[in-house]
Amino acid sequence: MAAHDESFAPVPVDRLDDDALHARLRAHGLTLSLVEARKVAVLLGRDPTLTELTLFDTMWSEHCSYKSSRPHLKKHLPTDGPNVVVGPVEDAGIIDFGGFGGRRWGIIFAHESHNHPSQVMPVEGAATGIGGIVRDVYCMGGEVIATLDPLRFGWPVDGPGEAGAAHRVDIARGVVTGIWEYGNALGVPNLGGDVYFHESFNENCLVNVVAVGLVDQAHITHSRVPKQAADEPYDLILVGKPTDWSGMGGAAFASADLDAAAAHENKGSVQTPDPFLKRILTVANRAALQRARDEGVEIGFKDLGAGGVACVTSELVDAGGFGCDVDLALVHQVTGLPARVCACSETQERYGLAVPARLTASILKVYNEDFALPTLYDGACARKIGTVTRERRYVLRLGDRIVCDAPVETITEGIRYDRVAVAPERREVPLDERLPEGPAAAIADEWLALMAHPNLCSREYVYRHYDGEVQANTILRPGEADAGVVAPLPGCRRAVALSADGNPLLGLADPWTGGAAAVLEACRNVACVGGEPSAVTDCLNFGNPENPHAFWQFSEAVRGVGDACRAVGLHAREGTPLPVVSGNVSLYNQSSSGRAVAPSPIVACVGIVPDYAHSRSQRFKAAGDIVLLLGRRRPETAGSVYLDAGFSAGRPAVPPLDFTAARREIRAVCDLVAAGLVTAAHDIGDGGLAACLAEMAIGLEGAGLLGADVRLPARDGVTTREFLFGEAGGFVLTVEPSRLEAAAGALAAAGVDWWRLGEVTSEPRLLAREADGAVAAEVGVRRLARVWQEALPGLLGGVAAVGAVPSPAGPQEEGEGSTPPRLNLARRPRVAVVQLPGVNCEDESARLLELAGARAEVFRWTRPASELAAFDGFLVPGGFSYQDRVRAGAVAARDPLLEVLLEESDHGKPVLGICNGCQVLVEAGLVPGLQPGRIEVALAANRNPGRRGYLSRWVALAAHPLARTPFVEGLRGTLPLPMAHAEGRFTHEDPAFFARLAASGHVALRYAPLGGRTDGNPNGSLLDTAALTNGRGNVLALMPHPERAALLRMVPEDLPHAWGERRRRAAGDAAALESAGPGAFLLQRLVELC
């Protein structure tokens, strides 16, 4: 502890005048108001210590106490429902997911913001945002199955005489980097989000994060001390990183206006992320929770976020009806830390547990010995730091010295304010008022320009940084559809659809509409993939609540969210509101200049998909399919991208929301998708009908080769521009001609307004006609795709899009004639999936190896290395082993387990290294193995003319004609697989070295063109190398992921390859979708070679 520690000193709040007290509070970095500081003294009946003031500063912050917002949340938001298992009372909400495998499952989800930290330190702020939200799911006893990241940034281009865009772009790039560096290393798929740019975010970016998880309802863990603590002693355990200065005062920092002049000082309030340690803690937590279940005891489990040790211990015991005695001397921490910092710092990667004293030693052993935390991270461990008491007092000490002693409920119950909300003066727009329109001949040019707008162009530049396929459960990825879809239970056809939405332009125009429209948009998105909207969570981002106008914006938006939730309701449960089961309020998103962000209610919706086999991508599927429009077009254009882009048309008011029509449309689309009547569905949102049709034509990565010929129906008082570019909600669907009658009957029965617009065409152009057949606008799909794809990389990356707009090409040969592995299913060889610290693909690799015919077992790094020799074959999975310190795979290559792999490979046993496993094998000298055990080649950072850094996408592989390895024997044509790496470029100081490797048969697989692209090399590897083998051919080091393509359902429906065509033909057929995919070839080959 610090030599001169003021933590114990009383602060004489009653004896100090206002100026002196204000100065004292600010000198210690506290944001308590004078009234609040004096109230602390009244509640305690004495002068508080500096530690107590620090604790109340955190617990009474807006971030923790919701002191301004709570009454409005309770008044407006429906939080209960027949499907709600846990509502907004804990770290995350849970809804019912139904039964499977003899268990009842739940979907967990939570929503948070990390706005101020991301503005000050974009990489660290965004990374710790992901780190914090996933902890909320883990603490409920679940596994995180997906994340979403709605992002809001300042305008990326300077106007005449302006400056600052470069800094705003740096923030955007830093945020994306922080999200991928943390989420990818943790092994959690990112399945969606959205990005908006607006000048109101110039000084305050918004970084919202959503985490979704799966839990066995019998194993839900609560963030409270169990009632059993009344009958037996319970201990408090702290697990994870040593407590340090990072994040000190973070909650208070997030609860005040952002002062750019204090940016340097504020950096200390941003936590330091460590996804490597989080990954270790994640797998260790599973074992600890299982240990408690095996003993038949209930424990309390909560993450350490705002307020650190003091917050987690006080909230755990108060929620259970107890008190506690915590000794800060027992907390593992860096040296020289004052007691108040030890108590309240928000150091990342920590958890708090409340366990029976008889189980304490066993739980400590899990972390400290079974998972060897102290050997993996300096100072990390699990320690007992206190005891639960029946007396409801919170006692915090350092040895014998008391730093806090108060009734626990005094600390946790928070404080309330009745804020004033005043509506600003607003002009009523006359019903007949219209903005002037340009000539009709300009509509096509406007359509083209609109698709390049920063708020409408492709988000591929962002989501290609994220790993959307880790865990091998993804059905629909970002860019494929309006919502991501994940099937988290192998063998179960039920799936989860996810979407997050919120238009800040609508929030500016009318906050109530902004809130309500965010709910409707999120629900429409999950409906497009067959998800029945089942619950939502909200993150409410607004300015300073002490400003009456800003607080009116907040209160109106909350009312809008609640009204829309009651209107949409639960599918097949008439009159039951759509529940809001979790959420977050982020206020004070305002700079010291007084500029606040656009009102930004962001809503995430979880939809339950009855059968993922019917979830389709939004791309047009076949020429001749019928194009249908659902939902009436409106003349209003306020809040639209069209007006924001500087174009002029429509009535300058927000489109009125028709809740009845929206509910009918959403339910009708859900039913049509579930019945298999829809080949593609896309909601009408940003950019209106014009953008909707363009995105359906362009498809994934701009690969769309189809167009549409549509006729705009006769309409009263709605101009062509209003019809095409207005953003009143609705849907565009495509159906096969043979199913049109059935679809029409279902729509009529649902009472939905719909029109037959036209049909999909084989020619890649969009043709919009007037009702009389006259051409209103015509634009080529390839031109649309080019501007749509190139805009965001040009703004944020300074480069062209990766392989933008491929040339026309038919499906690639998939190797239908490839010789399948000769499996002896009577003998199931034992294959070890080597779990090095930080890998994150071990579970799915083992599961899919089992399907390939092996008896797979995850072999943890703490087991004796000698036991590895008993296995018949080995798979080293992907991830970020040892945090890829020094360089990818370098530290892991020195693990004793690799020595055994080298020996066993010399005996002829097969070894397959995937992605990070490939990097490890290269660093350990198993490949190319000219001099076994020596590093002979390097895997360097990706280097592609169109992209730098981490890249996640599908690639095609072809066997090198001179390859000498049985791993690729019989492989003909190309094999499509997903890649996801930042350092996958095979290289050597002598480029001719790879030519010699190829000649000697060591280059096993090469990247090949995919979908008409002239260059299939995604990372700049020499000789397009994707995989190397050793001299015997029994070791394969491969960068792409075969386990993520082992089943047909894992293949993207829009993949420009024969495997994509096979995936499309299997739509609606769950059995076919569960059949072998392209990646099964290599997994089965590993099994065969054992």
pLDDT confidence tier of residue 945, bands split at 50, 70 and 90: low
**Predicted confidence band of residue 883 (pLDDT cuts 50, 70, 90):** confident
The set of residues, in sequence order, having a beta carbon less than 8 Å from that of 398 and lying 6+ positions away, is 1, 7, 8, 327, 328, 329, 339, 342
Orientation of helix 688-698 relative to helix 443-450, angle to 10°: 60
pLDDT at 699: 85
CATH number of 1-6+224-414: 3.90.650.10
φ and ψ at residue 762, rounded to 5 degrees: -75, -20
Residues 316-350 as b/e (b if ≥16 CB within 10 A, e otherwise) read bbbbbebbbbbbbebbbbbeebbbbbbbbbbbbbb
Task: State the pLDDT at residue 2.
Answer: 59
Cα(798)–Cα(947) distance, integer angstroms: 9
Q: Does position 815 have pLDDT exceeding 80, yes or no?
A: no
Which residue type sits at 115? N
pLDDT value at residue 893? 94
- Give the burial class of 529: count Cβ atoms within 10 A of its Cβ; 0-12 exposed, 13-18 middle, 19 or more buried: buried
pLDDT in tens, 165-179: 999 999 999 999 999
Q: Is the pLDDT of residue 822 over 60?
A: no
The secondary structure of residue 882, as a DSSP letter, is G
For the segment 242-257, what is each residue's pLDDT rounded down to a tens digit? 999 886 754 444 445 5
Question: Residue 812 has what pLDDT?
Answer: 52
322 in Cβ contact with 257 (< 8 Å): no
Helices and strands: H and E segment counts in the chain? 34, 41
CA distance 788 to 805: 10
Tokens standing for residue 707: 């167009």
pLDDT number for residue 947: 64
Q: Do the Cβ atoms of 346 and 307 come closer than 8 Å? A: yes
For the chain, the straight-line distance linking the first and the last C-alpha, in angstroms and rounded, comes to: 56
Do the two domains 1-6+224-414 and 830-1089 of this chain adopt the same fold? no
What's the whole-number mean pLDDT along residues 965-969? Answer: 98
The Cα–Cα gap between 492 and 480 comes to 22
Give which of 1018, 1002, 998, 841 is closest to 915, Cα–Cα: 841
User: From the candidates 63, 332, 960, 1041, which is the catalytic residue?
Assistant: 63
Give the domain ranges of the chain: 1-6+224-414, 7-59, 830-1089
- In contact, 640 and 446? CB cutoff 8 Å: no
Closest-CA residue to 640 (of 476, 808, 446, 830):
446
Helix axes 842-851, 1080-1089, angle to 10 degrees: 70
Residue pLDDT, tens place only, 503-533: 999 999 999 999 999 999 999 999 999 999 9
Return d(Cα 878, Cα 861) in angstroms, integer.
15
Q: Enter the tokens of residue 1027.
A: 């995989």
Assign 85 a pLDDT band (cuts: 50, 70, 90).
Answer: very high
Q: Which of 72, 111, 114, 198 is catalytic?
A: 114
Burial of 574 (0-12, 13-18, 19+ CB in 10 A): exposed
What is the residue whose two structure tokens read 């095996």? 294
Region of residue 30 (phi > 0: left; psi between -120 and 50: alpha; otherwise: beta) = beta
Report the pLDDT value the prediction gives residue 809, as an integer from 0 to 100: 43
For 958, the 3-state DSSP assignment is: strand
Q: How far apart are CA 446 and CA 642, in angstroms?
A: 9
DSSP state, 679?
Answer: S
Has residue 342 got a pLDDT over 50? Answer: yes
Is omega for the bond preceding 71 within 30 degrees of 0, making it cis? Answer: no
CATH of region 830-1089: 3.40.50.880
Q: Are 272 and 348 in contact (CB under 8 A)?
A: yes
Render the burial of 414-443: b for 16+ CB within 10 Å, e for the rest. ebeeebebeeeeeeeeeeeebbebeeeeeb
- CB of 831 within 8 A of CB of 872? yes
Nearest CA among 589, 641, 601 for reference residue 205: 589
Rounded average pLDDT over 677-687: 98
Per-residue pLDDT band for 149 (boundaries 50, 70, 90) equals very high
Q: What percent of the chain has pLDDT over 70?
A: 94
In the sheet where 707-711 sits, what is the strand order?
A: 680-684, 730-735, 626-630, 754-761, 707-711, 765-769, 775-780
Q: Which of 598, 551, 507 is nearest to 62 (CA)?
A: 551
**Residue 1008, helix vs strand vs coil:** strand
- Percentage of residues of the chain with pLDDT beyond 90: 86
d(C-alpha 127, C-alpha 117), whole Å: 10
Number of CB atoms found within 10 A of residue 167's CB: 11
Question: Higher-confidence residue: 412 or 1011?
Answer: 412
Q: What is the mean pLDDT of the chain?
A: 93
User: Is the pLDDT reported for residue 798 higher than 60?
Assistant: no
Helix, strand, coil in percent for the chain, rounding step 5: 35, 25, 40
Taking residues 469-497, what's their average pLDDT? Answer: 97
pLDDT in tens, 25-77: 999 989 899 999 999 999 999 999 999 999 999 999 888 888 999 999 999 99
- Per-residue confidence at 933, pLDDT binned at 50, 70, 90? confident
pLDDT over 80 at 396, yes or no:
yes
Query: H or E element: which one contains 18?
Result: helix 18-27
Q: DSSP class of residue 798? A: S
Neighbours of 896 (CB within 10 A): 11
Alpha helices by DSSP H, listed for 800-862, are 842-851
Tokens of 1021: 């590897």
Is residue 1041 part of the annotated active site? The answer reads no
907 is catalytic: no
The SS3 assignment for 88 reads coil
pLDDT, position 591: 87
Count of positions (residues) in the chain: 1090
Residues in CB range of 262: below 8 A, 6 or more apart: none
Per-residue confidence (pLDDT) for residue 259, from 0 to 100: 53
- Residue 8 CB contacts under 8 Å (≥ 6 apart), including other chains: 49, 50, 51, 339, 398, 401, 402, 403
- Per-residue pLDDT at 885: 76
Whether the pLDDT of residue 330 is over 50: the answer is: yes
